[in-house]
Amino acid sequence: MSEPPAPTVPASRGEPHAEASTAALPGPLTPGPAGPLVLGIETSCDETGIAVVRGLDLLADVTASSMDDHARFGGIVPEVASRAHLEAFGPTLEAALERSGVRLEDLDAVAVASGPGLVGSLTVGIAAAKALALALGLGLYGVNHVIGHVAVDALVHGEFPEEFIALVVSGGHSSLLLVRDIATDVVELGQTLDDAAGEAFDKVGRLLGLPYPGGPHVDRLAQRGNAEAIAFPRALSRGKDLARHRYDFSFSGLKTAVARVVEGFEDAGVEVPAADVAASFSEAVADVLVTKTLAACGEHGVTTVVIGGGFSANSRLRELAAERFAAAGVELRLPPIRYCTDNGAMIAALGSAVVSAGATPSELDITIDSGMPLTQILAAS
Ligand code: KG4
Ligand code: ZN
């Protein structure tokens, strides 16, 4: 019998190979005066967002959404979202490059949302970002999606003050943050213990027979209703609950309270006063969000608040925040709605901040982190 052929690759190839590729990774950047030219990639949920920024200048921001594909299921279907990202990625990247007039080889860095979010969706963005970074010899910056919702405001309203409070409200998050430096130092003061604000609106939308996602429909309905018609609870706002959860939120009990009220009308054979229910519910959510945000400002001696996330489109939150923050002498920075929903600009903005702060890029083998903690701004570097 003849000998089997000798292996063509030495068994020990793993180690020296790994060392060689690590040594070739780009280090921290020293951007020019206009700031780094950063590609931002966002695929954490149902929006494929790709943007290009130079420093705080937004050069292009292109978004493809798969929301219409999910609506008939009454919620986001992760498999459908992942496939949609795969299909939309190439055309979205091309459009962002064309609109910005930037060529791939001009870029300084690639930033990508590496968490939190849906595993399959994030995987598409990260895989693409790694391929681009590797092919172009650029640093890869895996950044926190939720912090991105705050960072995007700098593209609209300019540099952040030394310290500010951020309220991030979306379909997946309701978080109160103390931001000392958007690139390096974020403290999580509180978050929702159950449903996020947008999620509660979507559930109440379903209770009231409105299409998915219910948030904007409940909002529109609420504008015709009486906010004082029904006294809905303000969770974690009094006594021991408040002491233990000063900056946390809870909207699940409120949603149940709405369900009871709706059932009560139905059982009595009375038409549900949907606009009044929506208005009273909206008031309860906005009241708790604004009250806790103002309390955080007072306690930390902060006079600026940034509100981000898709739920910040809510008209009652916008109104109440404007009114009560002005009365308290607190500056409110609220980006236009198109920058509040998921988009590439927020990831490019945070990438730009992180690069400008001289951060070392993430390792090329970073994995997605669907539960990325809010105190972690940049994935393992
Ligand atoms: O940030 P976002 O676009 O997606 C993520 O969850 O990441 O937020 C979408 C959420 C949905 O729950 C949607 O119903 C809610 O924000 N929403 C609203 C309004 N616009 C969007 N909720 C209440 N009032 C609105 N005007
Ligand atoms: Zn988001």
Global pTM value: 0.90
Q: Is 6 a residue whose pLDDT tops 50?
A: no
pLDDT band at 21 (very low <50, low <70, confident <90, very high): very low
Put the strands of the sheet holding 57-65 in their side by side order: 57-65, 47-54, 37-42, 109-115, 139-144
pLDDT digits (tens, 9 = 90+) for 183-239: 999 999 999 999 999 999 999 999 999 998 999 999 999 999 999 999 999 999 999
pLDDT digits (tens, 9 = 90+) for 242-287: 999 999 999 999 999 999 999 999 999 999 999 999 999 999 999 9
Give how far Cα 7 sits from Cα of 4, 83, 211, Å: 9, 39, 61
pLDDT digits (tens, 9 = 90+) for 128-144: 999 999 999 999 999 99
Q: In the chain, where does the domain assigned CATH 3.30.420.40 lie?
A: 1-152+338-381, 164-334
Ligand 1 binding site (Cβ under 6 Å of any ligand atom): 45, 170-172, 198-199, 201-202, 213, 215-216, 219, 309-311, 313-314, 341-342
Residue tagged 């309701």 (tokens): 174
Q: Could you list which residues have their CB under 5 Å from ion ligand 2?
A: 170, 342
pLDDT band at 167 (very low <50, low <70, confident <90, very high): very high
Q: Please state the atom number of ligand 1 nearest to the C-alpha of residue 145.
A: 7
pLDDT band at 33 (very low <50, low <70, confident <90, very high): confident
Q: Is 94 a residue whose pLDDT tops 80?
A: yes
Q: Which CATH superfamily is domain 1-152+338-381 in?
A: ATPase, nucleotide binding domain (3.30.420.40)
Q: Please state the atom number of ligand 1 nearest to the C-alpha of residue 202.
A: 14
CATH T-level fold of 164-334: Nucleotidyltransferase; domain 5 (3.30.420)
Give how far Cα 190 sits from Cα of 85, 317, 369, Å: 31, 18, 20
- 102 half-sphere exposure, CB direction, 13 A CA radius: 23
Which ligand is nearest to the Cα of residue 311, counting in written order? 1
| Average pLDDT of the residues of the chain | 92
Q: What distance in Å separates the CA atoms of residue 196 and residue 252, rounded to the nearest whole number? A: 9
